[in-house]
A = this chain, B = another copy of it.
Amino acid sequence: NNEFDDDGDLIICRLSDKRRVTLQDFRGKNLISIREYYKKDGKELPSSKGISLTEEQWSTLRKNIPNIEKAVRKMESHTM
Contact = CB atoms under 8 A, between A and B. Distances in A.
A12 B67 contact: yes
Nearest to A72: B30
B34 A71 contact: no
Interface residues of A, number: 38
A62 B65 contact: yes
A3 to B, nearest CB: 11
Interface of A: 10, 12-16, 19, 21, 23, 25, 28, 30, 32, 34-36, 48-51, 53-58, 60-62, 64-65, 67-68, 71-72, 75-76, 79
Given A34-B34, A65-B65, 20 more contacts: A10-B71, A12-B64, A13-B61, A13-B64, A13-B67, A15-B53, A15-B61, A16-B56, A19-B51, A19-B57, A21-B61, A25-B75, A32-B68, A34-B53, A35-B51, A48-B48, A48-B49, A50-B50, A51-B51, A55-B72
